[in-house]
Structure 1
């Protein structure tokens, strides 16, 4: 396991008290200088104390090769610093200038058909290009030397959203780097042949020079799954290697300044292995944009919890979110009243000690001109800016009351997420294209919340085996080490819930033989001979299965053919006899060592999981779910001090009607956005999109 860098957090400007960092991306180079003073006036009014500067400013900083213009950047940083606003300074390498790509078109990435990504947007560079790396590091050196003693720069913002647009590159540079990556990972070409199963379809290779990226192989054909999985690993590593080169140069020149880069952690944001990347930053930072519709709050809480897991419960930095609509969806929905403040406090509750937005002032030109900002097109006299000011006041109050220094309290339940299992389930030759890993952890998180349980979302490399109860939701890849962790965890008394499509293959995507789930079959106490995918794309196919507990399975079911002697069947299928599924076990629980393991052999969805949880947890001997009426109406999150001297309770309304929640006797209501205490002060009533924060 990779060594994690020592945690280091941006420190306040000299003479200032520690605060929750608050601000956003600031692009003064998009505006005439007469706007700058007004920006700082409004930042002061809103309580902004940090902005990220220079993220897309390479062409402004180095207008021609070797010619640097720092004057404008010096002036704005000086203005900000004198106003008490710290700077998170970018390395500015995210988007190369036109003069560079015209002189060196070989730095442009290529897609799997060989087409070149032309300049005209951003991230049109290939991470394995030695030419681009030289230019980028030259800029990093110039930036670091110029700002190494600047007292207003509190952190380095290295690159920006690596892999957002250049995750995959299939160029000759990438081919050479992929060959070397395989050499380092496997040592011999025979080990690569074994990992990729090249005996199939005569793909055996004699030398590392025969390794090529998974380029276009013809429409409707199937790429080697082992190669494709490794290329996704390589692509994450290639971008990480580029980031590390920037980071190390900046750190060498400015050793006292913490460094980060902004991840894109979300339920569906699985492009890079952000848990692996978490080893390489001084503090974790994340960009998160809301999912419109009914999953808005839950998906945000899930993603924030996963970010906290990647940060290993150290404070983390919300580097970007939106005050309202974004610009990049087919339909860019606005936020509802109250959601600007509530959404920020969701991230704060889950361990963020910084709340920032893209961006400070809404652009009047360019591709993101319709992306909302802290200062919208409507200006200061707008509801968004009033909400921005309200949030700034809330953050100041919470800091004054001691929130800084607290962490997200550890839940009793961990829901495990694995980037590589998601990558493996994306292959085009699987039992069903309707099932991938990432949806199942989110469903379990939401179903547990429906039962009054706020789970922690923990990466597969994290400490999930220290929790009272663990959910392994469609964790398709389980290598020997993690299979051993599962076995040891349950054996010593842990309570495990494993679902369909878990423990199917090892880290090479080689199937564990002998019946599914091969690597933990003894733990869960079931043996599956065949999958039974469900769908309606052909007339007469089985599109669902009813369970004896009243729930319904869709998309996927296991054909469980034997159950361990000591295992109990909690629910079975009801189906026509000709289907072969009537009476087949669907949910089981098995004693193993001092612990118990449940197995859910089908996709029940959020509602089906929530309905099954009471019996499931009871069979496991777990007292976790709250069965009182309305237990799932409120998402309850706690931050606690390590020494137990302070605890902050965040209460979020998950419904579209007002909810009244009792307050602890010793609790003081601090923040009430679309909420208010009852007349007796013993409870708080929270409106839709509302939040209340109490300290005890």
Structure 2
């Protein structure tokens, strides 16, 4: 009998731990979870129980504590107070709420800032950031890392085996608000980073091209972080690329260090993540590889973007959530959640409009549609004092009445019950969708390099990338935004938009991908430089010539008030942002040509068959994207794959057997739903901010 019990326990253990830590906390059968930020330290302790009980009653299953509470945990150096946090965790558990515990590294206490001012970051103008707000300590400070390590270890020791704690968030939106740290700590670490990368100062000088303008260094100690405030004009571009890579490594090292400390003390079931702002210097999630998975932050209605149509400013734009979904899903752990999503009006925008009724719900379903594990809204209660007074919560300032966003979360919680009842774990993506699947190759080094050297005031890297992303979503194509770490062969189609920095190994991988049957799409600026941003000692973009079927190539720009013309398949298109002008090798098809300028008749779009697959090079970057859309549609068509034609702002996704359609436009949309489909939520007449979900 004893042996049978041992065998059972071993089998049970194997069953539990064969799942990822994330799946243990968020089981696949539950599909999706809802959470909300709560700050016990911000409220009278007599209200905690009322608030947490209300949170559970609203359908929220987890909450989020302590990322800004270091001053409460360690009010004086070496003196700790965790009793208040113990009580808050206990109350959450009492009402069935799980807790994400956070490390408080974004907000060092005042005693640390004042007693050890060397931990503070320094702006590009030489001013040292003072205590207050957050994100004012240097990741490059060994002293700061030591103090962070201490408080993180104490938290982990105290809560690492607490069953109410399901996981840990490191820091909060780490990124110094996009500022570069010019402190002496960072200067010293940058020199060490360069020495490790280049080995000798001669190699650095050679790579940076320092003989020009007498920039040559004799020792690494002479180098400072490139700073436009200290120079008469823009810094050396190679130095700037290294600066961005260095800062990304410093941030990743800071996050990975905390993950390693937590791992020493916490239970195997507790996971570790951090929440990041997508496409934000100096964040590069690929480098944060000690986590179990990554999450992101999104605020869509802040006055910064006008959206689609008259009411678009109340709805946001679909790529803000969609692109992040499709990117974060492919980082470490192959899972993601959204750790911050606005539940209503915010307080820090250019202006702060009310979201359209239903928009909060639509955003949550967009995360669900992308395969997310959860959404955690920021925040449960609207604060009465301090920063963020005007930031909506799930509750209004009285602490009792639900806000419109809170009411939408209650509705979502009820609707999820219906989806769980209809969930079939054996569901597989339909072949019609799988045949459209495409990977978008994206790398932060390309982003940094092209944003620093735009070459034209009309260039925007993310506008270029999102143009292709949005047209692909219009095809209802499943999209993964991937790094070079991924296996390209998983995708029938692969696109590398403006992939400027590459090497022979990547070109060889692309070549094999195509020869084995893949369909590769390259766009303007691709392959112009090596990994250190050096132009090839060869024709521009020479490494991709044979692959793409290019004989010669140069690029052109137009002023913003003039447009050039491109002809393709009897239609005329306009451009003025960027044009790669090409002549092609024999056997290469020309799909579009320039219709004017001194190079009239030269190729704008070329297409070549190679082995079992194809390569298409799209040389123009247009404002309206119509040329790019027709070329991409032709690529799919010639591959024998049918696509849909959804208007921009209508998002259609498939997840776990469910079709989800969302309407980010200001107009009513009529959605084509198969007659035999079972509609679970909504209907075919989709109002602005509307959601419809069905099964086939």
TM exceeding 0.5: yes
In proportion to residue count, which structure has more helix?
Answer: 2
The reply on whether 1:597 has 2:621 as its aligned counterpart is: no
Structure 2 matches for 1:173-252, cutoff 5 A?
Answer: 173-216=185-228, 218=230, 220-252=232-264
Structure 2: distance between partners of 1:10 and 1:460: 26
Q: CA deviation at 1:512?
A: 2.6
Name whichever of 651-660 and 116-125 sits farther off. Answer: 651-660
**What is the match of residue 276 of structure 1?**
287
The reply on whether 1:557 has 2:567 as its aligned counterpart is: no
Structure 2 matches for 1:146-161, cutoff 5 A?
Answer: 146-161=158-173
Structure 2: distance between partners of 1:565 and 1:615: 24
CA contact (8 A) 1:19 1:396 kept: no
Structure 1: distance between partners of 2:281 and 2:552: 29
CA contact (8 A) 1:308 1:316 kept: yes
Structure 2: distance between partners of 1:420 and 1:480: 17
Q: Secondary structure at the match of 1:242?
A: helix
Alignment TM-score, normalising by the size of structure 1:
0.88
**What is the match of residue 320 of structure 1?**
340
**What is the match of residue 652 of structure 2?**
636
The reply on whether 1:384 has 2:389 as its aligned counterpart is: no
Cα 1:633–1:22, aligned 2, differ >3 Å: closer, same or farther?
A: closer
CA contact (8 A) 2:29 2:420 kept: no
2:587 is aligned, of 531, 542, 566, to 566
Q: CA deviation at 1:465?
A: 4.2
**Structure 1 residues not aligned, in runs of 5+:** 1-5, 641-646, 677-683
**What is the match of residue 156 of structure 2?**
144
Structure 2: distance between partners of 1:174 and 1:367: 29
Structure 2: distance between partners of 1:404 and 1:572: 49
Q: Cα deviations across residues 457-494 of structure 1 (Å, max 9, x unaligned)?
A: 22343334431111211111122222222222122222
**What is the match of residue 15 of structure 2?**
none
Q: Secondary structure at the match of 1:426?
A: helix
Q: Secondary structure at the match of 2:151?
A: helix
Structure 2: distance between partners of 1:176 and 1:382: 49
Cα 1:334–1:263, aligned 2, differ >3 Å: closer, same or farther?
A: same
Name whichever of 282-291 and 564-573 sits farther off. Answer: 282-291
CA contact (8 A) 1:517 1:527 kept: no
1:493 is aligned, of 494, 517, 539, to 517
The reply on whether 1:96 has 2:108 as its aligned counterpart is: yes
Q: CA deviation at 1:516?
A: 3.0
**What is the match of residue 10 of structure 2?**
none
Cα 1:206–1:499, aligned 2, differ >3 Å: closer, same or farther?
A: same
CA contact (8 A) 1:64 1:99 kept: yes
**What is the match of residue 72 of structure 1?**
84
Cα 1:412–1:195, aligned 2, differ >3 Å: closer, same or farther?
A: same
**What is the match of residue 6 of structure 2?**
none
Q: Cα deviations across residues 609-668 of structure 1 (Å, max 9, x unaligned)?
A: 4652366326753524336xx57674221123xxxxxx1221223544333434456643
Structure 1: distance between partners of 2:579 and 2:330: 30
The reply on whether 1:657 has 2:667 as its aligned counterpart is: yes
CA contact (8 A) 1:422 1:436 kept: no
Cα 1:218–1:199, aligned 2, differ >3 Å: closer, same or farther?
A: same
Give the number of aligned pairs.
660
Q: CA deviation at 1:271?
A: 3.2
Task: Spell out structure 1 runs of 4+ moving beyond 6 A.
Answer: 403-409
**What is the match of residue 630 of structure 2?**
612
Q: CA deviation at 1:327?
A: 2.4
Q: CA deviation at 1:347?
A: 0.8
Q: Secondary structure at the match of 1:352?
A: coil
**What is the match of residue 687 of structure 2?**
687
**What is the match of residue 680 of structure 1?**
none
Structure 2 matches for 1:327-342, cutoff 5 A?
Answer: 327-342=347-362
**What is the match of residue 8 of structure 1?**
21
Structure 1: distance between partners of 2:647 and 2:578: 29
Cα 1:480–1:211, aligned 2, differ >3 Å: closer, same or farther?
A: farther
Cα 1:435–1:509, aligned 2, differ >3 Å: closer, same or farther?
A: same
CA contact (8 A) 2:318 2:651 kept: no
The reply on whether 1:462 has 2:478 as its aligned counterpart is: no
Cα 1:535–1:180, aligned 2, differ >3 Å: closer, same or farther?
A: same
Structure 1: distance between partners of 2:425 and 2:105: 32
Q: Secondary structure at the match of 1:9?
A: helix
The reply on whether 1:521 has 2:545 as its aligned counterpart is: yes
CA contact (8 A) 2:65 2:101 kept: yes
Structure 1: distance between partners of 2:133 and 2:125: 20
**What is the match of residue 349 of structure 1?**
369
Q: CA deviation at 1:418?
A: 1.6
Structure 2: distance between partners of 1:375 and 1:83: 18
Cα 1:381–1:163, aligned 2, differ >3 Å: closer, same or farther?
A: closer
**What is the match of residue 679 of structure 1?**
none
Q: Cα deviations across residues 65-118 of structure 1 (Å, max 9, x unaligned)?
A: 111111111111100001000000011121111111010111110122322111
CA contact (8 A) 2:338 2:367 kept: yes
Q: Secondary structure at the match of 1:233?
A: helix
Q: CA deviation at 1:542?
A: 4.7
Q: Cα deviations across residues 348-403 of structure 1 (Å, max 9, x unaligned)?
A: 11111111111111112222222222223375244222112111222344344437
Name whichever of 15-24 and 503-512 sits farther off. Answer: 15-24
**Structure 2 residues not aligned, in runs of 5+:** 1-18, 309-315
Structure 2: distance between partners of 1:33 and 1:182: 50
Cα 1:193–1:407, aligned 2, differ >3 Å: closer, same or farther?
A: farther
Q: CA deviation at 1:220?
A: 4.8
RMSD: 2.7
Cα 1:382–1:110, aligned 2, differ >3 Å: closer, same or farther?
A: closer
Q: Cα deviations across residues 292-317 of structure 1 (Å, max 9, x unaligned)?
A: 422612332122111212256x3312
Name whichever of 494-503 and 212-221 sits farther off. Answer: 212-221
Cα 1:632–1:433, aligned 2, differ >3 Å: closer, same or farther?
A: closer
Cα 1:17–1:453, aligned 2, differ >3 Å: closer, same or farther?
A: closer
CA contact (8 A) 1:487 1:520 kept: no
Q: CA deviation at 1:37?
A: 2.3
CA contact (8 A) 1:349 1:650 kept: yes
1:373 is aligned, of 378, 393, 408, to 393
Q: Secondary structure at the match of 1:42?
A: helix
